Structure 1
Amino acid sequence: MTVTSRAAGWRRAITGERARWLVVVAVAYYLGARLGLLLSLVEENVTPLWPPTGIAVAAFVILGRRFWPAVAVAAFVVNLPVSEGLLPALATAAGNTLAPLVAALLLERLGFRRQLDRQRDALAIVLVAICSTVISATIGSLALAWSAGIPAGQLPATLAVWWTGDAMGILMVTPFLLSVPLFRELPSWPVRQWIELSAILLVVVVASSWAAQSLQVIFLSLPVVGWAAWRFQLRGAAPAALLASVVTTFSASRGLGIFRGRPLLDQMLALHTFNACIALTSFVLAALVSERNSATAALQQAAADLEARVEVRTAELSALNEQLETEIRERFEAQEQLTQEEARAKREHDIAETLQRSLLPPQLPVVPGIEVAARYVPATSDVQIGGDWYDVLQLPDGEVGLVIGDVAGHGVSAAATMAQVRMALRVYALQNTSPSSVLHSVHGLVSQLPMPEMVTLLYAVLDPRTRRLRVASAGHPPVLTFDAAGAHYLEVGLAPPVGVTAEAYYDESTHLLQPGSTLLLYTDGLVERRGTSITHGLDRLREAAAAVAAEDLERLCDHLLASMIEPSRVADDVALIAVRPQAVPSGPLLVTVPAEARMLSQARGSLRQWLRDAGVGADDETDILVACGEACANVVQHAYATAPGDLVLEARIDDDLLQMWVRDRGQWRVESDRGGGGWGLKLMQALADTVDVRRTGDGTVVHLSRRVSIGAQDGG
């Protein structure tokens, strides 16, 4: 009984709230109509500025289209006294209701935001105002002509005035009403801004009154309205544009100034042109300024967040550097009396190389659709840490990001710079897949941070399935691609290293790789030799790569290093990545990864790509990934308690039967020591047709099977 009473009370509250808003909308529409009729040019009900249409559109945008009855009733009440009978009044009211309804629907379909803080929103409201009001103008004009309210010859002029009035109502009144809630939603203004806006609005009234008197200065209001839009965006642009339109429309309705003695159509053309220019100037400029402000705020926040992360990482590197220097000093003092000077130097070099490698990816990710191999060779001339690095990123939609970079110089400073740039690039790459945009963002960061070293950088994005490659370079050696037919360097736009100039533009080129081709990204230490032109080194690299194009990537990398550098004469660090897109697999899936939590995403990504290439439906894909993920997570948590091991994932599809096996070679802890659980198995049983868990002395095998739907997939 209590629940029923509460539900009834809520329904009454909701119904009462809607009733109040229906009354508010109807009253606002009626009052706006009475004001608009004061400016009528044809009979008593055709005006060049019809505020009710703007009021109705604003109500539908803010409150919803379900408030149309209030508009319909108010429109009928307004039109009945000025129409030639009941039927014309009903027809006109129907047109006045249908036009704003269509306008609100079009705005919704166009993704319109009532804050009008995007350029597309300003253009959308102008387009909708022009198009939707044809409905009310046509119905209303025909109703007047049919009821003999106007002569038939006056129909075009009446339609023009009606259309102008309704369109101007949307263009001028709707943005003003939409701006009213912003005064509560956005930060409040100080007193000086209110004074400034009041002064601007006063200047708008004076300028519009003066401009309406002479054709030579009719657009004098435009810079003042633009000023309001620039300073206060929609909250200033909307009232300024409305005031300019009302003053000019009043002059037109009274035949004052430039409108005196002109035909009605000429008056409407001049008035509509003026109001359209005012609307476009104010709202488009306000939207552009809002977009700029939003983008600036977002960039400042992103830069602040990134700088905080960089500071933390820099502090960690500084602490590591201090620890390393202390260790080296202590070891040097302890071994100073030893006679084997060379063996002491070798140990210090090993320490520096270990630190360098700790800043590189500990293991290349397993990326579906490509083979990847990488090498890093430190300089042998000293024990300083270098700034060369590489990275491989798994991006959304199955793409892979390839990074190769070189920080000039050696030492902890170069390593710290490399770590900051690498971290920043990973962040930007996950936000935007465009290589040119990523380099531009990295350039902006490096330009603001105190980084004395010069940084060259190349970033490429490869789609393994289409073999489409997008590349952008910041002063880095070009990408080499080769296959059995030969080798050549990809043409990439020239641009300076990041951070060396105030402004920089990084061109992005797109290439389609041939089947079986291999990509090579490298640092200049591979091709540059003192006293020899770098062109000679690039030619040598192209010839060496073409000679081993058919080798697997690991042997290919070893061969290139052996061909290009002499271990005893490595003057600069060398880093390289070799990438080869694979053919889309059509057979079973076999993935082997270390049984570690960080490798679960790679196993999941490989399975997802294999399912999509096999055409498995989206619903089946989601359930399969969850079920398989539970089985893999159990291996990571329970299989290898004392020593590390591998996780093996196998899958195949026979007709529409998908079978998967998740294997390990560990010894699971007993259930009483696992701290609860059992939900993973229940979840697998809920998502798969059959689940079989077999434990033997050699490990555990989880077998899952499920009937799946096979069809064409986008693979997104």
Structure 2
Amino acid sequence: MAERTEGSWASTAHRPRLTADLGRTAAAAVLVGAAYYLGARLGLSLSLVERNVTPLWPPSGIALAAFLILGRRMWPGVALAALAVNLPISTGPVPALLTALGNTLAPLVASIVLERIGFRRQLDRLRDALAIVFLGALASMTISATIGATTLMASKGTRGLAGAWAVWWTGDAMGVLAVAPFLLCIPLFWELEPWPVARWLEAGIILVLTIVLVSWTTRTDVQLLFLVLPLLGWASWRLQLRGAAPAALTASLIATWSATRDLGPFEGKSLLEKMLTLQAFNATVALTSFFLAALVTERIGFARALMAAAADLEVRVKDRTAELEATTDRLRRETDQRQETQQQLTREEARTRREHQIAETLQRSLLPNRMPEIPGLVVAARYVPATADLHVGGDWYDVIQLRAGLIGLVIGDVAGHGLQAAAAMTQLRMAVRAYAIHDPSPVTVMSRLHELARELPMAEMVTLLYVLYDPDTGTVRIANAGHPPALLIDDGSTQYLDGGLAPPLGVLAHWDYAEATHRLPPGATLLLYTDGLVEKRTLSIQDGLDRLLAEAQGSEWADLDALCDHLLSTLAETGKVADDIALIALRPLALAGTPLSLDVPAEARMLFQVRHALRRWLRESGVNARDAGEIAIACGEACSNVVRHAYGASPGDMHVEARLVDGSVELTVRDEGQWRRPADRGGGLGLTLIHGLSDSVDIDSDPEGTTIYMRRHVAVGDEK
């Protein structure tokens, strides 16, 4: 009885999940059916024989893509939609039912065959392109053509079965070739690496040129449809399937529409001539696009695999060489030790000192030699090494400039001293940068560092504090792995930022890390430090934290460097320092109400920082969002011209100033270089865009450099 009751409970527990799965499947089937029906209406508008035989039948491609992406359980939605489409145009329910059966069965068989041969819907191999052409389109669509054409001829009692079958078959096949790859490429936009803005712009240009060129060639009597093939080749070579599929579908739709309207090269042609011309064009478009896209994608994959194999071989050669060198060195040391003990002791002492120097040099080289210049932020840092003999510790810090203007601050402490601690510090520092660039979330970064720390050959633990600062929201997100807490100094008051605390990295087998969010208003200071600042031989760490809190609370320093020096002079031990001390301070500045002044290197990597700082200044100054966006574009074009033309291959700086005067933004971009002549540098669209987005533009060039003055009236506050 008990067993039945437990089984009943288990069955009851699974019912909500089963109901939810059925609901999602039904919703997906409804959406697929709706797409099928809309595609059918489009296809019927292009019919050439009767009302239901068309040279391009998009529902075939829609059904096949649905079966390949969502599974064959979508067949009820396809079948019902096909029946709904055929009922109004058939002589009765039986012909409509038979036609719908053929329309459902053909793509279903195609999906089964493709899955059996290992077809990949990404179409990233030449064999996949061949499979969808010959098996998915040409072979499988004979099922729907045979059932549909036979039913049509039998129900209406007319002749011409061969012609109707040919039109039906080519229509379904062309629907698969034109529509299915387009739908299969849609998931690739979030499955593969996202396109940058330039790639989206290139795709848009290709699509517009395709529309214009095909539309023009179908309006003239001259046979010029082949002119679209170079555009499709461009899309396949540069963008692969994600660019080739939309362009091919667009070209086929326009050409088919023109054929049904007797336009251009199709004017005055017989049905056979129209079909030959149209389907030859559609087939050429499809084969050219998808074969070339698959071939390019496959070659790219081969190239990446070859590069990875070469890199792996190089690493293995280096490792083997290092092993051989280490073995040779060990044998030599053993031989020298047997022969000359005193000389061995001397060499050992020299080796130990050299190891210390290497570790110290390594540690110093990995710490930032100067803080990055970040518009709207002030950053200061200090590092004091331990003065005990041969004590090279694992304290370190870093400032990471991330996408979207985010700033990552990290400070860590690898317990222990010597080369091993310095080497572990090196790996962790590089790992933090790599992880933060990929995903800056504190929880993600800390979780990945935890897994790395467990794999490092260290007997000591690692503490680390990671902070993600968002200048747009004025918030910091903190994750803390056993490190002393961050200190917030705001208007003379101080507090430790709690939350997001976890054990040191690598101590436990698994830990679910969390993060805490705090406000960091303009003018406030965020202080990160290692335990060497607050922990002394004669002082507990809690007493040291209390001392730091009291010392920071009683100090009001406008200069962060002076604040760091003051804390070190009052809290650090005099004489010998038993442990390393690392200290880093961050302070956001209020931009509104004052002019914006930026001095940055004239390098492409700084363009985003300049635009982000300018947008923030405009937003905080109350400038209308549209005006702010266009001003940022004009400034970006001016700065881009400085990067490209002012210094050539030599380093240099650019200076950007912005001020709000009488309802207008005055923007100045200045350099100390010499621009190339217009005939040599090419381009010119940037200056045109700057003029178009500004009320006035003045450019002054002299031997001392070039200055671009821009002025634009803006809407401030509630002004429209």
- TM-score under structure 1 length normalisation: 0.52
Q: Who is 2:431 aligned against?
A: 424
Instruction: Give, in whole Å, the separation in 1 of the partners of 2:467 and 2:41.
Output: 48
The alignment covers a number of residue pairs equal to 470
SS of residue matched to 2:436: helix
Q: Who is 1:660 aligned against?
A: 668
Distance 1:440 1:638, change over 3 A: closer
Which string of whole-angstrom CA distances, capped at 9 and with x for unpartnered residues, describes residues 308-360 of structure 1?
A: 89989x99xx9xxx9xxxxxxxxxxxxxxxxxxxxxxx999999766533211
Distance 1:692 1:72, change over 3 A: closer
Q: Who is 2:119 aligned against?
A: 183
Please state if 1:477 is matched with 2:479: no
Match among 690, 704, 707 for residue 708 of structure 2 = 704
Q: Who is 1:506 aligned against?
A: 513
Residue pair 2:664, 2:713 contacting (<8 A) in 1 also? yes
Which string of whole-angstrom CA distances, capped at 9 and with x for unpartnered residues, describes residues 34-69 of structure 1?
A: xxxxxxxxxxxxxxxxx9x999989999xx996667
Instruction: Give, in whole Å, the separation in 2 of the partners of 1:355 and 1:586.
Output: 44
Q: Which runs of 5+ in 2 are unaligned?
A: 1-28, 128-186, 192-300, 327-352, 692-696
Instruction: Give, in whole Å, the separation in 2 of the partners of 1:712 and 1:502.
Output: 55
Please state if 1:625 is matched with 2:632: no
Which string of whole-angstrom CA distances, capped at 9 and with x for unpartnered residues, describes residues 47-97 of structure 1?
A: xxxx9x999989999xx99666799989969xxxxxxxxxxxxxxx9xxx9
The CA deviation at 1:384 is 3.8
Instruction: Give, in whole Å, the separation in 2 of the partners of 1:114 and 1:624.
Output: 49
The CA deviation at 1:403 is 0.9
Which string of whole-angstrom CA distances, capped at 9 and with x for unpartnered residues, describes residues 137-172 of structure 1?
A: 77899999xx9989xxxxxxxxxx99x999998997
SS of residue matched to 2:463: strand
1:534-553 equivalent positions in 2, closer than 5 A: 534-549=541-556, 551-553=558-560
1:364-375 equivalent positions in 2, closer than 5 A: 364-375=371-382
Residue pair 1:527, 1:537 contacting (<8 A) in 2 also? yes
- What is the RMSD of the two structures over their aligned residues, measured on CA atoms? 5.8
1:200-239 equivalent positions in 2, closer than 5 A: none
Q: Who is 2:465 aligned against?
A: 458
Match among 677, 695, 700 for residue 693 of structure 1 = 700
Instruction: Give, in whole Å, the separation in 1 of the partners of 2:686 and 2:93.
Output: 76
- TM-score under structure 2 length normalisation: 0.52
Which string of whole-angstrom CA distances, capped at 9 and with x for unpartnered residues, describes residues 203-236 of structure 1?
A: xxxxxxxxxxxxxxxxxxxxxxxxxxxxxxxxxx
1:244-393 equivalent positions in 2, closer than 5 A: 355-393=362-400
The CA deviation at 1:389 is 1.2
Letter in 2 for 1:621: A
Please state if 1:433 is matched with 2:440: yes
Instruction: Give, in whole Å, the separation in 2 of the partners of 1:114 and 1:711.
Output: 53
Letter in 1 for 2:377: I
Instruction: Give, in whole Å, the separation in 1 of the partners of 2:459 and 2:46.
Output: 68
The CA deviation at 1:132 is 7.7
The CA deviation at 1:579 is 1.3
Please state if 1:411 is matched with 2:431: no
Q: Which moved more, 1:492-501 or 1:357-366?
A: 492-501
Instruction: Give, in whole Å, the separation in 1 of the partners of 2:712 and 2:546.
Output: 52
Distance 1:629 1:357, change over 3 A: farther
Letter in 1 for 2:709: S
The CA deviation at 1:564 is 1.6
1:86-101 equivalent positions in 2, closer than 5 A: none
Residue pair 1:631, 1:680 contacting (<8 A) in 2 also? no
Instruction: Give, in whole Å, the separation in 2 of the partners of 1:426 and 1:442.
Output: 11
The CA deviation at 1:488 is 1.9
Instruction: Give, in whole Å, the separation in 2 of the partners of 1:405 and 1:531.
Output: 23
Instruction: Give, in whole Å, the separation in 1 of the partners of 2:103 and 2:554.
Output: 72
Q: Who is 2:269 aligned against?
A: none
1:48-59 equivalent positions in 2, closer than 5 A: none
Instruction: Give, in whole Å, the separation in 2 of the partners of 1:188 and 1:682.
Output: 41
Residue pair 1:133, 1:166 contacting (<8 A) in 2 also? no
Residue pair 2:412, 2:530 contacting (<8 A) in 1 also? yes
Q: Who is 1:155 aligned against?
A: none
Please state if 1:591 is matched with 2:598: yes
Q: Who is 1:84 aligned against?
A: none
Letter in 2 for 1:626: E
Instruction: Give, in whole Å, the separation in 2 of the partners of 1:442 and 1:71.
Output: 61
Q: Who is 2:345 aligned against?
A: none
Instruction: Give, in whole Å, the separation in 2 of the partners of 1:370 and 1:588.
Output: 15
SS of residue matched to 2:552: helix
Residue pair 1:368, 1:606 contacting (<8 A) in 2 also? yes
Q: Who is 1:555 aligned against?
A: 562
Letter in 1 for 2:376: G
Distance 1:561 1:409, change over 3 A: same
Instruction: Give, in whole Å, the separation in 2 of the partners of 1:441 and 1:391.
Output: 17
Instruction: Give, in whole Å, the separation in 2 of the partners of 1:619 and 1:483.
Output: 35
Distance 1:589 1:534, change over 3 A: same
Residue pair 1:688, 1:705 contacting (<8 A) in 2 also? no
Letter in 1 for 2:119: F
Once the two structures are aligned, what percentage of the paired residues are identical? 40
Q: Who is 1:47 aligned against?
A: none
The CA deviation at 1:413 is 2.3
Instruction: Give, in whole Å, the separation in 2 of the partners of 1:75 and 1:350.
Output: 87
Letter in 1 for 2:594: G
Instruction: Give, in whole Å, the separation in 2 of the partners of 1:149 and 1:680.
Output: 67
SS of residue matched to 1:505: coil
The CA deviation at 1:474 is 1.9
Which string of whole-angstrom CA distances, capped at 9 and with x for unpartnered residues, describes residues 625-645 of structure 1?
A: 1322332565555888xxxx8
Instruction: Give, in whole Å, the separation in 1 of the partners of 2:534 and 2:551.
Output: 11
Distance 1:626 1:675, change over 3 A: closer
Which string of whole-angstrom CA distances, capped at 9 and with x for unpartnered residues, describes residues 100-136 of structure 1?
A: 69x959x9xxxx98764xxxx56xx97x777787766
Please state if 1:564 is matched with 2:571: yes
Which string of whole-angstrom CA distances, capped at 9 and with x for unpartnered residues, describes residues 503-532 of structure 1?
A: 332212222335543211111111122353
Residue pair 1:617, 1:708 contacting (<8 A) in 2 also? no
The CA deviation at 1:659 is 2.8
The CA deviation at 1:571 is 1.1
Q: Who is 2:681 aligned against?
A: 679
SS of residue matched to 2:404: helix
The CA deviation at 1:535 is 1.6
Residue pair 2:356, 2:392 contacting (<8 A) in 1 also? no
Q: Who is 1:520 aligned against?
A: 527
Letter in 2 for 1:662: R
SS of residue matched to 1:183: coil
Which string of whole-angstrom CA distances, capped at 9 and with x for unpartnered residues, describes residues 375-434 of structure 1?
A: 111112235433211111111112111111112222222222212211121111111121
Q: Which moved more, 1:518-527 or 1:587-596?
A: 587-596
Instruction: Give, in whole Å, the separation in 2 of the partners of 1:413 and 1:606.
Output: 41
Letter in 2 for 1:397: A
Residue pair 2:638, 2:669 contacting (<8 A) in 1 also? no
Instruction: Give, in whole Å, the separation in 2 of the partners of 1:169 and 1:619.
Output: 54
Instruction: Give, in whole Å, the separation in 1 of the partners of 2:547 and 2:314.
Output: 39
Instruction: Give, in whole Å, the separation in 2 of the partners of 1:531 and 1:113.
Output: 72
Instruction: Give, in whole Å, the separation in 2 of the partners of 1:507 and 1:646.
Output: 41
Letter in 2 for 1:507: A
